[in-house]
Structure 1
Amino acid sequence: MSAADDRRPILVTGGAGFIGCNLADRLAGAGHDVIVYDALSRAGVETNLDWLVRSHGDRIRPIVADIRDEARLVEAAAGAKAVFHMAAQVAVTTSLVDPREDFAINIASTLALLEALRARAPQTPLIFASTNKVYGDLADVDFVLEDQAYRPADPAIRAHGIGEARPLDFHTPYGCSKGAADQYVLDYARSFGLRTAVLRMSCIYGRRQMGTEDQGWVAHFLIRALEGKPITLYGDGHQVRDILDVADAVDAYLAAWQRIDTIAGRAFNLGGGPANAVSLRQLLGHIGALTGRAVDVDYSDWRAGDQRYFVADTRAAETALGLSGRVDWRSGVAALANWLSEARGLALPARRIEAAA
């Protein structure tokens, strides 16, 4: 039976979150029924769920429950034709405050999902949202400072970014929990033949992102700038990330599901790649151009495990998943600024946005 003929729903854990709701929207728009499993614990995500229900009606089946509610999670997974596991404790800072909760959410719930599939639905694909934090702080990589941005001294890394062959190196409880879950997902393909795969994400941004200082920093920077409030940079602001528009991230998740039989048991780095690599200071300069005023910046100490540079080598993902083209970060950030200004009722001249994009 093809996925199109299979009328079972698709489970998206964390489906009211930023990436999850964009994924659920695309799936429902393609005619699939979607179980949106979310505790609605993150401020503002209830508006994402409302938007999904308004947009797609009965195709969206909300389950408002904690990911640690194993009985409800297992029941939802057992009846699904595919599982996209996006739910997580997502902040390094929170993991340092409460490592036990971080463990319970990120590792124990992932293991419960895998065991549910192994026992009751071994043919159901599971795609796991992992993180670039599994590679640690990259302290052994030498950098040079160029144009307000750290760049690798190694020409191969500079040209392509960090590849999947990079050794794993878990830092902070968050890195440990996401990294361990990542490895469980891969091993369940190896040990039990489950159809699982992992996407190790760099920084994803885009519409419906409820950015905070701890997570979703591109939207957080824009929100603070639009409100005329200062932004705190932890470190020197020369840190570089390859930011990826959420529409491109959703393309990758859908491709992973569609090609699960050829990629099962593999992990891929997912980011904007070298063409979309930008330092925090460079991004703030672009935001200043969008808003028409310089951003007020404060500085604080480096955060634990922070990477001075992470750019994903996306060649393996592009080849295996058939991905091509990405939204340029300048136009993508401009589009997010427009969406945030409308969603929050903040004035932003359209002509300035278009010119800056």
Structure 2
Amino acid sequence: MTAAASSGRHCSVLITGGAGFVGVNLAAHLLANGERVRVLDSLVRAGSERNIEWLRRSHPQQVDFVEADVRSPQAVAAAMNGIEHVVHLAAQVAVTSSLVDPAFDFDVNAFGTMNVLEAARRATHAPSLIFTSTNKVYGGLDDLRVRSEGRRYMPTGPRVRSHGIDESRSLDFHSPYGCSKGAAEQYVLDYSRSFGLRTAVFRMSCIYGPHQHGNEDQGWVAHMLRAALAGEPITIYGDGKQVRDVLFVDDLVNALSRARRDIDRLSGRAFNIGGGPANTVSLLELIEQLEQLLARRVELSFASWRVGDQRYYVSDTSRFQTATGWLPRTTVAEGVEALYEWLTSSELHPAQRRPAAMRVQELGASG
């Protein structure tokens, strides 16, 4: 459906980048609760066509799909017609790609966000807006002192060790990707100050879950699991001890829903969103989990550290928790198992699947 054709159909929520894995999970949640959703997506990312096909099969009467690019002001303005709330997910999402083509990265992330903001500002009834930024706005965290503890790095300072990185951390945009997302989020916040739009920013950590078609540049949990299932070698950049807090997509969808509900109170603020200290994993620890899940070894190779790769990043999400009551509910083990189940049911040849009896036995043993 074209942007022009969509303008005559009432939808309450616009999701830019809605055929991506976060967008399609959010859309499915909203549609299941009886809302009408408009999805704007250019379908350039691998897997996005499969995601939107699944969504349209599941909710054929409720989803309004607009194939367009956020770099088109006309397409974005048309898609904004009649919208009450925007979740702006459309982005160039990989640090490595931003280093190859910084101009394209800026065009999508910064200019595309400006198009969304301007369309919202000029709308007859300005919608509220949530923008998904990144922890990369805090830079490489080179001043954060860490030490090696077994198969992971841990901070030496007790405050960060127990709570993670909070929003008082100075911004230090690192890599073209960090710059473009950082610039975009600052515009989102300023449009609240300067123009009165109801906007909020999520500085997100590592999100994972079903419908994620990850690669080694972005979506690393899904990439590693998919490669392990296929028996392909996995490349670790650095030593594998780098730690991230991971957040299952259902918990992110819940956070986005709460932010929409409370947008009048949250407007003009940025929030760190991730799994927090209770849901952390190093790359080596994730490999160990995958080996236990598959009951076999995973082939690894190691390469040099990549630009902007933090030794340790864990979100302190207490600001958002205090404001909304939100807490992640899905453990790392539960989330990885759910992602495994989706991958094996939707993508893999039956010969690659783990026998159901083995899964039941392992789940029983872990309980």
**TM-score normalised per structure 2:** 0.93
Unmatched runs of 5 consecutive residues or more in structure 1: 1-6
What secondary structure does 1:57 align onto? coil
1:348 maps to 2:351:
no
What secondary structure does 1:15 align onto? coil
Q: Which amino acid aligns with 1:182?
A: E
What secondary structure does 2:92 align onto? coil
Q: Deviations over 1:147-197 (max 9, x none)?
A: 210100000100000001100000110000000001100111111111000
User: How far 1:107 moved relative to its partner?
Assistant: 0.4
Q: Is the 8 A contact 2:11 2:38 kept in 1?
A: no
What's the counterpart of residue 4 of structure 2? Answer: none
Q: Matches of residues 2-13 of structure 1 in structure 2 within 5 Å?
A: 8-13=11-16
Q: Which amino acid aligns with 2:212?
A: Q
What's the counterpart of residue 95 of structure 1? Answer: 98
What secondary structure does 2:130 align onto? strand
Q: Is the 8 A contact 2:70 2:116 kept in 1?
A: no
What secondary structure does 1:27 align onto? helix
What's the counterpart of residue 15 of structure 1? Answer: 18
What secondary structure does 1:58 align onto? coil
Q: Matches of residues 212-223 of structure 1 in structure 2 within 5 Å?
A: 212-223=215-226
Q: Distance in 2 between matches of 1:122 and 1:195?
A: 12
Q: Which amino acid aligns with 1:348?
A: R
Counterpart pick for 1:332 among 316, 321, 335? 335
What's the counterpart of residue 297 of structure 1? Answer: 300
Q: Is the 8 A contact 1:9 1:79 kept in 2?
A: yes
Q: Is the 8 A contact 1:14 1:88 kept in 2?
A: yes
Q: Matches of residues 237-276 of structure 1 in structure 2 within 5 Å?
A: 237-276=240-279
What's the counterpart of residue 36 of structure 1? Answer: 39
Q: Distance in 2 between matches of 1:182 and 1:78?
A: 23
Q: Which amino acid aligns with 1:158?
A: R
Q: Is the 8 A contact 2:247 2:328 kept in 1?
A: no
Q: Distance in 1 between matches of 2:345 and 2:252?
A: 23
User: How far 1:242 moved relative to its partner?
Assistant: 0.4
Q: Is the 8 A contact 2:202 2:271 kept in 1?
A: yes
What's the counterpart of residue 284 of structure 1? Answer: 287
What secondary structure does 1:88 align onto? coil
More off after superposition, 345-354 vs 309-318: 345-354
Percent same amino acid among aligned pairs? 52
Counterpart pick for 2:138 among 120, 135, 140? 135
Q: Distance in 2 between matches of 1:106 and 1:123?
A: 21
What secondary structure does 2:244 align onto? strand
User: How far 1:339 moved relative to its partner?
Assistant: 1.1
What secondary structure does 2:144 align onto? coil
Q: Which amino acid aligns with 1:328?
A: T
Q: Matches of residues 28-177 of structure 1 in structure 2 within 5 Å?
A: 28-121=31-124, 123-177=126-180
More off after superposition, 336-345 vs 91-100: 336-345
Q: Is the 8 A contact 1:9 1:34 kept in 2?
A: yes
Unmatched runs of 5 consecutive residues or more in structure 2: 1-9
Q: How many residue pairs get matched?
A: 351
What secondary structure does 2:80 align onto? helix
Q: Note the aligned Cα RMSD (angstroms).
A: 1.2
Counterpart pick for 1:314 among 304, 311, 317? 317
Q: Which amino acid aligns with 1:51?
A: W
Q: Distance in 2 between matches of 1:205 and 1:224?
A: 15
What secondary structure does 1:163 align onto? coil
What secondary structure does 2:305 align onto? coil
Q: Distance in 1 between matches of 2:303 and 2:345?
A: 31
User: How far 1:257 moved relative to its partner?
Assistant: 0.6
4+ long deviations beyond 2 Å: 349-354
